[in-house]
């Protein structure tokens, strides 16, 4: 899933345990500009550093997964939790964050080739 929005808040990376870290951020999503929505996402593990190249106010595209968990508390009550787990951040202008490699360059040499002969056609 993807969504576009403006970065309005970003937190520091939190070390939850020796093997798990996360970082949260909030965007303003304005499908209807009269009633903007404020959506919180999280980045986990090595993805946390992707947010470093963004400043508050930057327009961005977020690629994310919708996650849901079921948990039974000590009293035996079942509770459900949802999270929006971002895995790629791109600047809205089309520039990709510094942690994402640039797209491969495609050669246009094939455009110069002469295709006028139909000797290679199988039919």
- What secondary structure does DSSP assign to 88-107, as a single string? EEEETTSPBPTTSPPPPP--
Q: What is the model's pLDDT at position 24?
A: 97
Place domain 2-100 in its CATH homologous superfamily. Nucleic acid-binding proteins (2.40.50.140)
Query: For the chain, which ranges sit under pLDDT 50?
Result: 95-98, 110, 123
User: 3-13: string of b/e by CB count within 10 Å (b at 16+)?
Assistant: bebbbeebeeb
Q: What is the model's pLDDT at position 110?
A: 47
Q: What is the model's pLDDT at position 68?
A: 95
Handedness of CA 90, 95, 98, 102 (dihedral sign): positive
Helix, strand, coil % in the chain, rounded to nearest 5: 10, 50, 40
With 0.85 as the threshold, say if the pTM is over it.
no
* Residue 38, φ and ψ in degrees, nearest 5: -115, 115
Extents of the domains making up the chain: 2-100
Q: What is the model's pLDDT at position 92?
A: 87
């Amino acid at each position: 899933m993807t969504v576009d929005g403006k970065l309005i808040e970003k937190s520091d990376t939190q070390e939850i345990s020796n093997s798990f870290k996360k970082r949260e951020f909030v965007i303003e999503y304005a499908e209807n500009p009269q009633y903007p929505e404020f959506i919180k996402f999280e980045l986990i593990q090595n993805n946390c550093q992707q947010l470093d190249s963004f400043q508050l106010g930057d327009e961005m595209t977020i690629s994310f997964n919708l996650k849901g968990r079921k948990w039974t508390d000590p009293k035996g009550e079942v509770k459900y939790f949802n999270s929006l787990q971002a895995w790629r951040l791109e600047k809205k202008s089309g520039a990709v964050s510094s942690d994402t490699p640039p797209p491969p360059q495609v050669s246009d040499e094939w455009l110069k080739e002469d295709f006028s002969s139909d000797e290679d056609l199988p039919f």
